[in-house]
């Protein structure tokens, strides 16, 4: 179903331009990896802090206040570089189930994180209190960590599995 669109996209002038400039894809991928580092490390630090595994001296609201802006900025650059890579190699991406699984998980984890950020902002005192965390904090932290790991695994495996579907 997506194959005709991918073939059309691959034949466009823009895609041809990106394909013919051999440095574009590796450069975009390198920037993509650097942003994955920022986003994943930030998410993991917040999540392990929520789970009480990592006893950082900073409170939850201090940690999210410092790290979330880097996560959002990183996500924007990930979207841009991901788009460059998809336009340059549309067939490789669109035929791979891993690509679609990754996209769906990115949407889910982004919505989850935005919801979490809103809750912490609106009630920082409760999140920073020493007592038990608000309901759903552990579920969010576990779910978010697993989703990010799965997203990275899927991202790496797009390159290894798309040949199976073309």
Residues that bind another protein (CB under 8 A): 26-27, 29-30, 33-34, 36-38, 40-42, 44-45, 54, 56-58, 62, 66, 70, 149, 152-153, 156-157, 160
Per the rule left: phi > 0, alpha: psi between -120 and 50, beta: everything else, 56 is beta
The rounded distance, in Å, linking the Cα atoms of 158 and 97 is 8
Neighbours of 114 (CB within 10 A): 12
Give min distance, CB of 10 to another protein, in A.
Answer: 20
Q: In the complex with another protein, which residue's Cβ is closer, 29 or 110?
A: 29
Are 72 and 116 spatial neighbours (Cβ–Cβ below 8 Å)? no
Q: What angle do CA 64, 83, 31 make, to 5 degrees?
A: 60
The rounded distance, in Å, linking the Cα atoms of 10 and 112 is 33
Tokens found for residue 17: 């331009």
Q: In the complex with another protein, which residue's Cβ is closer, 129 or 153?
A: 153
Q: In the complex with another protein, which residue's Cβ is closer, 33 or 134?
A: 33
Give min distance, CB of 105 to another protein, in A.
Answer: 15
In sequence order, which residues have a C-beta less than 8 Å from that of residue 40 and are 6 or more positions away? 148, 152
Give min distance, CB of 136 to another protein, in A.
Answer: 25
Q: In the complex with another protein, which residue's Cβ is closer, 24 or 117?
A: 24
Give min distance, CB of 23 to another protein, in A.
Answer: 10
Give min distance, CB of 26 to another protein, in A.
Answer: 5
Q: In the complex with another protein, which residue's Cβ is closer, 15 or 42?
A: 42
């Amino acid at each position: 179903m997506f194959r005709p669109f991918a073939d059309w996209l691959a034949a466009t002038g823009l895609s041809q331009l990106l394909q013919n400039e051999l440095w574009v894809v590796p450069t975009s991928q390198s920037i993509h990896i650097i942003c994955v580092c920022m986003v994943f490390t930030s998410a993991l630090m917040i999540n392990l802090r929520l789970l009480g595994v990592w006893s950082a001296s900073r409170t939850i609201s201090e940690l999210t206040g410092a790290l979330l802006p880097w996560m959002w900025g990183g996500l924007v650059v990930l979207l841009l570089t991901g788009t460059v890579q998809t336009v340059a190699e549309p067939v490789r991406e669109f035929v791979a189930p891993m690509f679609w699984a990754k996209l769906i998980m990115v949407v889910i984890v982004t919505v989850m994180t935005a919801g979490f950020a809103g809750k912490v902002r609106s009630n920082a005192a409760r999140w920073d209190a020493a007592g038990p965390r608000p309901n759903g904090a552990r579920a969010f932290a576990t779910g978010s960590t697993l989703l990010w790991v799965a997203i990275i695994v899927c991202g790496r495996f797009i390159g290894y599995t798309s040949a199976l579907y073309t």
